[in-house]
Structure 1
Amino acid sequence: MSATDVMTPSKLKPMPLSQPVELSPKPSLIGLTREEMGAVLKEKGVADKQIKMRVSQLWNWIYVRGVSDFDAMVNVSKDMREMLKTHFTIARPEIVEEQVSNDGTRKWLLRFPPRGAGRPVEIEAVYIPEEGRGTLCISSQVGCSLTCSFCHTGTQRLVRNLTAEEILSQLLLARDRLGDFPDREAPQGTIMPAEGRKVSNIVMMGMGEPLYNFDSVKTALLIASDGDGLSLSKRRITLSTSGVVPEIYRTGEEIGVMLAISLHAVRDDLRDMLVPINKKYPLKELMDACRAYPGLSNARRITFEYVMLKGVNDSLEDAKGLIQLLKGVPAKINLIPFNPWPGTNYQCSDWEHIEKFADFINSAGYASPIRTPRGRDILAACGQLKSESERMRKTERLAFEAMMIANHGED
């Protein structure tokens, strides 16, 4: 990214947003399992002999056709549609803000209706287009409780877990906005892969710790990978955890998706500081859980994420320790240049230093790609998400942009 590429808010591409949705108290059919959907239909008077057929119809309209209005379900009787409109919703969350980076990365600030006696909440989701693929980074919580010291999201307190509906709605909305459902066109100006499905991969790497919201994440990902619906391959779904050891095995056994570990240090004393959950589940326990991950093989490697922090975890001794730590584990190491955010005291390792670190790991037989920073100019890169309910003041945003320009040559 050149210094001239950094966008100010006035240069962000204006995109047409969805109209604000009414904060409806009606329950959503999105995120229900087939059994749950059948149960709520029966409760509203649908005959037992029709349940299976009606669930199949709704499943197809919601997840294959991507409709967000019951009136679009043309093969469902008018009386049935009226009943559905009266009691349920399939509406998308409100798009509060949509930003598009100069590299095509797209960030949505989404607002969900209140739950129970709560209040509306906001989260962020990010779409990253690449050659031959498009990856959607999905949030699992509003805020985060882990307080990782290098992560912007960790500075926002945890408000609540997202429901399975709210997790899935991020995927449905992204496919809406990108024209990724049948008979849909993407909004003008959208930057996407040239061919194939626009959202081909999803990663649970947004706001929050997915394994502290296991049940909702499990339900959402099983629906996302359902062959009669959204039909994403489980090999194209990655769940990233900071190391909630008791739930790691369950992830492989009950969800069966690819696993990523937010590692960032190879010594307990340093990881205690960078990733405080390490105090509860230290490295030995974490690595034991990784070695026991169901289906682990060279074809189903675990990805270890390692943010490069200048003078903190980027020495040759750290690289040697990383090789020793991962011994015997089919693994790939993603080296992540640190993405700055307002108020941080960390700096990104020099690029030449990162390359030497990567070369050492490669020479030991581990793939160690350096992740190209994407969407930094709109705070959409790894570790930068923070919902607009914790919005930066204008002076903070301007200071951040100045820092990005001043530090351009350092990373």
Structure 2
Amino acid sequence: MTGRLRPTPPFPRRAVTVAAATAVCASLLAGCGSLTGTSGATKDPVTVMTWAPEGTSATNMPGMPAMARAYARWVNENGGINGRELEVITCNEHNDTVSAGRCARRAVAEEVAAVVGSYSQHGRAFMSPLESEGIPYIGGYGVTDEEFTSPLSYPVNGGHATLIAGSGRQLAAQCERVTLVRPDTINGDQMPSLISAGLAEGDREEASDVRAPEDASEYKRQSELALELLEVEDRGTEGACVTAALGDRTDTFFDSFRRLRKDSEPIRLASVLGSVQQSLVDRTGGSGSPFEGASITSWYPAADDPAWDTMRAVVREHAFSDNRVDVSDPGVQTTWIAYTVLHRLIESIHDGPVTGRSLRQALDSGIGADGIDTGGLTPKLSWNYQDVLGAGDYPRIANTMVSFQEVRDGRLVASRDGFVNVAKTLERRYTYAQSRAAAE
């Protein structure tokens, strides 16, 4: 479903007192401007767009536009951001190139100030129209090369590159050998070298690579191959791990894998957030889920971390009964962080309209130069030259941190405190890939 979220006239908060709202603001940002006020917005509204695929046969992210709408309701019912109301336009990206380009062209036609907290695998289709009009892409989900190369992209996480490299780091401490099941796509082609770079930091051998279609209804053949690779040279399955990163089809793969795997085979399961998340664990049995004990790599703190308290409060109050908004979903979390960044940027623009140009100036030389505080959900974010990774395929990565989690008693919880920096792992991968290319 698409359409503009029109400004809502201010009215008394239904369940949150002014004092409570003030506390929520304080936990989100260091100062919320007019957010704690009761008067309506007085300046020109700020129009942005959020897109994501919905209702497709592959990966779907309906919670991202739903979270964007809830965020807008929150700020608008509390006086806007520095007196400016937030208008959100949503677009169904449909997981195809044509629709991704159509969403981007619509963003241009609607003269949005930014595209915020969105998901698309079709970077070539959407980034060119945005670049031609100077529209910044803030907080994309992180699945395309363009998000980490375009000067108009401001990613809040390290994309799949950091997740897969981080997964290698996490599994290096637990596994003697690893089989990776990944999409048979251009983006998937990068995964084997990324996870192997992480494994190398624990002196582990390269991961075995199993390609799989993104939208299959079963994965028997890939499961058989994964087991064969884990048992190569008659070593058995002791110390063996299988990790899959197939988005919405990850559970389908593991279902096929469980049917072939013997109960006595001690094979550890692993994945990355977005492919396995709390809703999947709940749906497959909670503490009795086959994912119990699985290792999961994430960009962000575990969903029970207090740093998410503000988002949870906003979702309870402003997402109503919208079951698309799952606070443990990494798409929803990414959209929340992206709008947190936007919020800080708008607060920093005191004079003149909020446009793509003024947002880019704030990002490149204003508040973005000092780092944007996301309340502990990420490190401070800055996309200045000295603050981005600047290595190989990922020059725009500003956040190289991941968190290690595991499924324990049916809940995704932190398996170690704090973040793990995979910057050196990514640099190792780039150097390694260069050397292999030269040898070939």
Question: Scaled by the length of structure 2, what TM-score is found?
Answer: 0.28
Higher helix share: 2
- TM-score (ref. length: structure 1): 0.30
The structure with higher relative contact order (CA 8 Å, sep 6+) is 2
